[in-house]
Each structure stands twice: as structure tokens, then as C-alpha cells.
Amino acid sequence: MLSKKLQDALNQQINHELYSSYLYLAMSAHFEAANLPGFARWMKIQSEEEGEHGMKFYQFINDRSGRVALEAIAKPPVEYKTPLDVMKKVLEHEKKVTGTIEALYELSLKEKDYPTQVMLHWFIKEQVEEEKNASNIIEMLKTIGDAPAGLAMLDSRVGARAKG
């Protein structure tokens, strides 16, 4: 059984994950409007993954006989600047999510909730991958600079991302 404090924190994480999904969907729409279909696809897949992460927390709370309590999801920004600006925002956001996951882990240690600790190991590993992927794209964008041909090639490359 989950403690009330941990259950509340896990419910808050559902909100964080669903906001991430919403944020990345807004970024996907931005890239669609900017005629960058590869970046749009990458962000849409990212959005879908974040929704799945929210559902992992949802299911975990239910599996532990807890109570899911959904809150309103904040509206994400709609306007963005360059692809580099967007990807810097992605990295910044992923670092915030890493912080919330680490705080959950700390709380699960304090509460001596071993099942939650084990579940969170997957998320800790996932966050390393999320930050690495965003950082890699940022470095590629910095390398190509303002070269339209380079951006077109990178758009094609990130658009080739496989789901899951």
C-alpha cells in the first residue's frame, strides 16, 4: 500500500508526464507549421512516449491499491523560434523531469517503499536517454548552423526515428 504522501507525489508525476506529452505535441505542431516534418514526427513520437510514461505511473498507483487523482494539465507555449531553441527547451524540460523523478526516488527511500524504488529505476534510466537524445540533436544543430541544406538533412534524419 502506498503512503498518502507518496501517492500524492506519484499523482503529481502523472501530471508532469502528461504535461510533457502536451508540450511536445505543441512543439510538433510548431514544426509542422514550419515545414519541418521530420522534427514534427520526432516530437510527436516523443509526445506519445510521455503519455505512455504517465500511464505507467497511473497503472502503478492502481496496482498498489492507490487512488489516481488527475489534475488539470497546464497549457504549453505555442510559439517557438528556431529548431535549436526548441531543442534547448526540450533539454531544459527533460532536466526538470529528471529532478522530479529523483525527488520521487528520494521520497520512496524515506518512506521505505521498495516497490516504488524498483519501478523508478526504469524512469531514472529513461531520463538519461531522454537528456542524451536532446543533447545530441542540439549538438548537430549547432554544427550545421544556419545552413538550410544541413537543416533539411537533419530534419530527414530525426524524422527517421523509430517509435518506442
Burial state string for 144-157 with b = 16 or more CB within 10 A and e = fewer than 16: beeeeeebeebbee
CB atoms within 10 A of CB 127: 19
- pLDDT at residue 75 greater than cutoff 90: yes
Q: What's the pLDDT tens digit per position in 14-71?
A: 999 999 999 999 999 999 999 999 999 999 999 999 999 999 999 999 999 999 999 9
Quote the pLDDT of residue 155: 97
- pLDDT at residue 115 greater than cutoff 70: yes
- The pTM assigned to this predicted structure is 0.95
164: confidence class by pLDDT, cuts 50, 70, 90: low
CATH of 4-159, one of 1.10.150.170, 3.40.50.300, 3.40.50.2300, 1.20.1260.10: 1.20.1260.10
Quote the pLDDT of residue 161: 84
